[in-house]
Structure 1
Amino acid sequence: MAADRGPLRVAVVGAGKISGAYLRTLRGRPEVRVVAVADLDRGRARQAVAELPGARAETPAEACAAEDVDLVLNLTVPAAHAEVALAAIAGGKHVYGEKPLAATTAEARRLLTAAERAGLRVGCAPDTVLGTGLQTARAVLDSGAIGRPVAATAFMVTPGHELWHPDPEFYYRPGGGPLFDMGPYHLTALVTLLGPVRRVTGLAARPTERRTIATGPRAGTTFPVEVDTHVTGVLEHESGALSTLLMSFDVWGGRLPHIELYGSAGSLSVPDPNDFEGPVGLRRAGEPGWESVPVLAGHRGAGRGCGLLDLAEALAAGEPHRAGGELAYHVLDTMESLLTAAATGRAVTVASSCARPAAVPLQG
C-alpha cells in the first residue's frame, strides 16, 4: 500500500523504448524513488536498472506484488495495459500508465472500479498537457482573449511508424492505429482546453492491408494492418464548441497545424500536443497578424513522467491529480465512439464525461 511519508516508491513495468524518457524524468526527483524495473525480457530490465542505484530487475508479477512498491508505472504495450494495471491494483498499488488507459472502455472501467474500491489512484499519459505549451494556450483561452470558443482543428499526419520503429506491429493492432496511438495527445489537449466531448461523428479508412518495416534488424519484414489508419471526425463539446480531428498514418509531407482554436474575438495557435513546450500564437479580431505569446503557465523543462510527479504531489497533499483516470477514460470513450460512428455512419453520443483538469501555474 502507499507510504504515508517519504518518496513514492515506483516499480516500472515495461522496459521498452519509452521507459528511458520516463526514467530520465524520475531519476533523482525527491517525490519518487524507482525501486524496481520489470519486463518479460529480464535482460532489458537488468539493462535499465544498471543506471538506477539500489533498484532491482524482476518480473512484472513480482513488481505488482512487491511490499516495497507504492505505485506501478505501466509502460507495457496497449493490449496489456488493463491486465498489468489490474494486477498492480490487486497488489495494493497505485497505477500510472502509458496511453491509452486500456484497449477498450470495458477494460478501462474495470480497472477504474477496482482502484476506487481499493482506495487507490489511477493516472495516465499523456502528461504533455502539463507543460508550458498547452498550459500557456489555456491561460490565454481562459483570459477571454479570443472570446467565446466556437471551434477547433486538431491534426496529426504521418506516413507511418514502421519507417522509424524497429518493431512497429503493435501500432497496427487493436489498441493502436493513429487514433489510439496519437489521438490521446490531441484529444486530451482539446478536453483540457474546451472541456469534455458530448457527441462525435466521423469516417475511417484502411488504404493499405500490409506494411513493411523500414529500419532495424527486421527491415523488409511485412506485417498485416488490423486497424483503420486514416480517421477523421467532428467532436461536439459540452460547451458547444466543435472540433475537427484528423489522425492519419497515410499522409506524406502534410503541413497542417497541430491545433488551432477559433473564438468570437480571435484565434489561438497551439503547439504540438506531443511536446511539452512550443510557441503559442494569438490573432486578435481586427488585428493584421499573429502575435507571439510569452510563456505564462505550466511546468518548464517537463518530460515524460511529469504527470506521475503531479500524482505523487497530489497524493501527499490529499488533492486531485491532473493526468487522472477519468480524463483518460473519457478520451478513450471518445475515440471508441468515433470509431463506432465511422463504422455505422451515424453520430454517437459519448456516454462518459469528466472534469476539466485544474490549470498549472508557471513552475520551474
Structure 2
Amino acid sequence: MGDEVNALRVGVVGAGQISGQYLTYLPKLGNVSVTAIADLDADRAAAAAAGVPGARATDPAGLYAADDVDLVLNLTIPAAHAEVARAAIAAGKHVYGEKPLANGTAEARALLDAADEAGVLVGCAPDTVLGTGVQTARAVLDAGEIGTPVGASAFMVTPGHERWHPAPEFYYRPGGGPLFDMGPYYLTALVTLLGPVRRVVGMSSTPRASRVIGSGPRAGTEFAVEVATHVTGILEHEDGALSTLIMSFDVWQGALPRIEVYGMEGSLSVPDPNGFAGEVRIFRAEAKEWDPVPERGGYRDAARGCGVGDLARAFGQGTAHRANGRLAYHVLDVMESLLTAASSGRSVEVASTCDRPAAVPAGARVEER
C-alpha cells in the first residue's frame, strides 16, 4: 500500500467548506488517490475537481457506480450522512465520513450491520485524535506517569457558529448543536485516553429560540434553533474514571481548559482536540508546577484526512483502523444518552462499548508521496 498503483481510490461526496482541508491533505498520501468528486451542485464539484490532479467531477449516483472508487469519503451535511453511507455500502464501497456517523444510533447501527454484511469498512471523523497532541497525552497515561486516572474535564464554549458561517442553519438542527457538532472531538479524545463510557448524567438548555446570521450574503437573516445549545454532563468510564463535559454555543468567553486528565499522582493538560498537535503539559506532585511534554506519539504534521490514510494502511495490512465505525457509534451513543439523561432527569446506561483504539507510535507517519 505504499505506491499509487496499490492506493485506495477515493471518491468524495460533498464539496462544501470542509472538503478543502481534505483535498489539500489527501493528495500528499501515497496510499490513497482521489479519483472523483461529486456534489449536488455540479459547478462546485467541478471547481473542487479542478484543484486535484487526476480527479474528475461527477454526480453522486455516478460516483457510487464508478469502478475506480474503492472508498466513498462522505463530506455532506449531518442530515445526509446516513443516506450517503447507505448508498456507498450498497454499491460495495468502503465509507469514511465526517462526524457524526448518523443522526442517531438506530441509523448508525443499521449502517454498521449493512457494512458487515457487505464486507466493507466504515471509518468516521474525527481523526484529530491521531495527531501528536492527543497521542502524546495517551503515551503519558499509558506509561502511568500521573498514576491511576480519577477523572477528566472537557470544555468547548463559544457564542455560536452563526457569527462566522455564511449558512449556519444546519448547526442548529437535529444532528447539530454543540454536542453533536463539537462533542465528537472531545468525546473521541476522552475514549482514546480513558476508554469507553458506561453511564452518563446530564442537563441541557436552549436559551435562545432563534439566531441571526452574522456574516456573508445572508447576514441579518434570522433562523430557528431546533436543538439544545448548552449541554453539560458527567461520564462514568468503564474503568471508573469520571469526566465532566460542557459543550455550549451560549458562552461569550470562558477561561476553561480544553481537556485535563486527573490522576492519583498528577494531572495532564491536553491540547484542543479539534486540532492535531499542540502542547501537552504534565503536573507532577513532586514538581509543583506544569512542565511541557515532548512529542511521544501520533502522526506528525497530520491534517483532516489522516484517518482515511490510516484506514488505507490498515486495509493493506489486514489490521484494524483507528478512526473506525464502532468507535464513532459509541461516541454517538454517549451523546444520545446524554440528551436522554438531560430530558429524563436520570442517569442513563450507555448500551454500547468499543475497543480503545491502538496508540499511534511516536514518529509514525501516514504514507506520503
Letter in 2 for 1:350: V
Counterpart position of 2:321 = 321
Letter in 2 for 1:172: Y
Cα offset, 1:144, TM superposition: 0.4
Cα offset, 1:64, TM superposition: 1.4
Q: Deviations over 1:334-355 (max 9, x none)?
A: 0000000000000000000000
Cα offset, 1:288, TM superposition: 1.6
Cα offset, 1:28, TM superposition: 3.5
Distance 2:153 2:54 in 1: 47
Letter in 2 for 1:211: R
Alpha-carbon RMSD across the aligned residues, in angstroms, is 1.0
Counterpart position of 2:136 = 136
Counterpart position of 1:303 = 303
Q: Deviations over 1:67-119 (max 9, x none)?
A: 21100000000010000001000011000000000011000011100000011
Q: Deviations over 1:214-247 (max 9, x none)?
A: 0000000000000000000000000100000000
Distance 1:336 1:61 in 2: 31
Counterpart position of 1:251 = 251
Query: What pairs with 1:92-171 in structure 2 (closer than 5 Å)?
Result: 92-171=92-171
Distance 2:138 2:28 in 1: 30
Letter in 2 for 1:41: D
Counterpart position of 1:40 = 40
Counterpart position of 1:27 = 27
Query: What pairs with 1:190-229 in structure 2 (closer than 5 Å)?
Result: 190-229=190-229
Q: Deviations over 1:229-277 (max 9, x none)?
A: 0000000000100000000000001110000000100000000000000
Letter in 2 for 1:86: R
Cα offset, 1:61, TM superposition: 1.5
Cα offset, 1:328, TM superposition: 0.1
Counterpart position of 1:173 = 173
Letter in 2 for 1:14: G
1:183 paired with 2:183, answer yes
Counterpart position of 2:360 = 360
Distance 1:236 1:29 in 2: 38
Letter in 1 for 2:113: T
Gaps of 5+ in 2: none
Cα offset, 1:65, TM superposition: 1.7
Query: What pairs with 1:227-242 in structure 2 (closer than 5 Å)?
Result: 227-242=227-242
Cα offset, 1:308, TM superposition: 0.4
Distance 1:267 1:318 in 2: 37
1:9 paired with 2:9, answer yes
1:330 paired with 2:330, answer yes
Q: Which 10-residue stretch deviates more, 26-35 or 74-83?
A: 26-35
Distance 2:258 2:53 in 1: 40
Cα offset, 1:126, TM superposition: 0.2
Identity %, equivalent residues: 69
Cα offset, 1:184, TM superposition: 0.1
Cα offset, 1:54, TM superposition: 2.3
Distance 1:97 1:324 in 2: 10
Distance 1:183 1:41 in 2: 29
SS in 2 for 1:27: helix
Cα offset, 1:53, TM superposition: 2.2
1:50 paired with 2:65, answer no
Distance 1:17 1:46 in 2: 15
Counterpart position of 2:90 = 90
Distance 1:329 1:52 in 2: 31
Cα offset, 1:62, TM superposition: 1.3
Counterpart position of 2:285 = 285
Letter in 2 for 1:177: G
Query: What pairs with 1:265-276 in structure 2 (closer than 5 Å)?
Result: 265-276=265-276
Q: Deviations over 1:151-194 (max 9, x none)?
A: 00000000000001000000000000000000000000000000
Moved over 2 A (4+): none
Distance 2:28 2:204 in 1: 44
Gaps of 5+ in 1: none
Cα offset, 1:55, TM superposition: 1.3
Distance 1:167 1:64 in 2: 27
* Count of residue pairs brought into register by the alignment: 361
Distance 2:193 2:29 in 1: 29
1:261 paired with 2:267, answer no
Cα offset, 1:287, TM superposition: 2.1
Q: Which 10-residue stretch deviates more, 60-69 or 128-137?
A: 60-69
Letter in 2 for 1:8: L
